[in-house]
Chains A and B, each alone.
Chain A
Amino acid sequence: MNQLIYAFATWLDTHSWSTQLHESFYMYNWVESTHVLALMVSLGLLFLIDLRMLGLAFVDIPATAIAHRLFLPMLIGFSVMIVTGLLLFYAIPVRTSQSLWFRIKVVLLIAAAVNAWLFHRRMQDAGSSAAGSWDLAVKAPRRLQIGAALSLIFWGFIVICGRLIAYDWFDCRGEPSPFVSTITGCIADQTQF
């Protein structure tokens, strides 16, 4: 698996566009800034939904109104964030794919996506079964509250891991311990970093 990821990353690294993006001070910084500003839109709106479900914000406004109205702008923010995130990976593929923080971030992203899907399903179930009786309640039903809390936790750690990718504490170049080397996918005698 690690060999496959490394082969894919080195193949991406051979693209001239990847090198150009990495070497371009302005372009790389513009992409990264857009990634972070899109995060402010998407996560900002997602957190508003989560805080409403937990009864910590917008308690006067129906919970489903918050969730439904903010869904589209949040999705637009997420789309920009995903595109710019992929470009950032494309710019530095080998090092990023072998970053411990990036790998944790990907696992957390999958967990957050599964949680979002479950949250969406639970919301539909809660809406149809209780006929929206909880809509004006301060807190959403317990299952939705758990989903909202998990969403806040997952995304909090995703942002922390994203920030830590910039640090080289566990990079393969630094010859980490065998355990770290295995989970970060360092390859014996690898030539590209």
Chain B
Amino acid sequence: MKAEPKNVNTGIYYIDGDVAAGQGALAAGCRFIGGYPITPSTKAAETFAEIAPKAGAVFIQMEDELASIATIIGASYAGVKTMTITSGPGYSLMMETIGFGAMLEAPFVILNVQRGGPSTGSPTKTGQADMMQARWGSHGDYEIIAIAPESPQEMFDYAIKAFNLAEKYRCPVMIMADECVGHMTEKVVIPKADTIELATRKFYKGPKDKYLPFKPDKDLIPPMAKAGDGCNLYITGDTHNEKGYPISSQNLKTKTHKSTTRRLIDKIKLNADKIIELKEEGIEDADIIVVSYGISSRVAVKGIELAREKGIKVGSLRLITVWPFPDKKIAELAKNIKAFVIPEINYGQVVFDVERCAHGEANVVLIPHGGAGVHHPEDISDAIEYADRENKKIEKIIEWKTKLEKLIFEKGFKLKE
């Protein structure tokens, strides 16, 4: 299906990432945003609030983030594409209900324009420290999809991608942007509506009295019915059967629990190859591979250039989707290289998954950054050089890492503000 012209403000703009995301949401066919303003995401919500009425969409400023996330799950079950927009503290407040949404298999998108934390942290400064929260923040077993844009254009493009994934897989999809990208202004091209491909939700078409809201098709995804359309729609966060009825603990068999929650995992994991999007550059004969995401990918470019000038064979693997994680890709690459280098604007999150997937075949170097700014290119080239030079056998990894941490935290990298 193509985007509807009334939703697409085709043109060439000089706008920031937040504005682009608001435009992208509308172009994707978002009909409802319930949100509570928070820097640095406010402009995305403002933009949607401004452009939505003309296109017949609705923005409601809710009383808080708990209400915001709850309204969009309701809207999702009413059958429309929906999203909320937030940042760190607001995102924390949404956690419980994100799990509720995952359990109900409600398609929705959350834009998190990450800022410095913990707590209220630094509202106008950047961070990438919510990455693990996106993955594991709500209790229980579930899977989500997370995308990390690196430019205002991508805030538009990946807003559309996020909605498409949410509608297709019936799961929460997070756009894990950050303050840098949200507040960065660049040229953004909003294409014509007929060039924007949209995924449509699978709606139930059978007899109304036969509908089972959680009976999956072969692709593991159950078709949805709109609330109020006449189908029996019983939805609950409790572990439920195909009818949607909660199973009382007396009768709850491991099998039922498994069939419900296992599918939340499998529908994403078994489709991971279709969901994951990566950008590779110069990795064929690389000794070192920089794994990065979001704004850090753009910052890494300069560091990689500096390292190449020194004759180091370094490639780049950008995680456009961070979750689900590209386990297989990292494991394959690990066999042929000396080390992965991971710049993150946090003290180590995605690096753990790189380590996990490297299986000890390659060293893994984190370049931490406390936030409120980005890595200086020399931080990245220094780490690449170190990883290339100090390439000890893997048995010595503990010693090797201690040495590296000393270099980073005590002597070395001039982490520029």
Q: A and B from one assembly?
A: no
**Which residues does A use to contact B, with CB under 8 Å?**
none
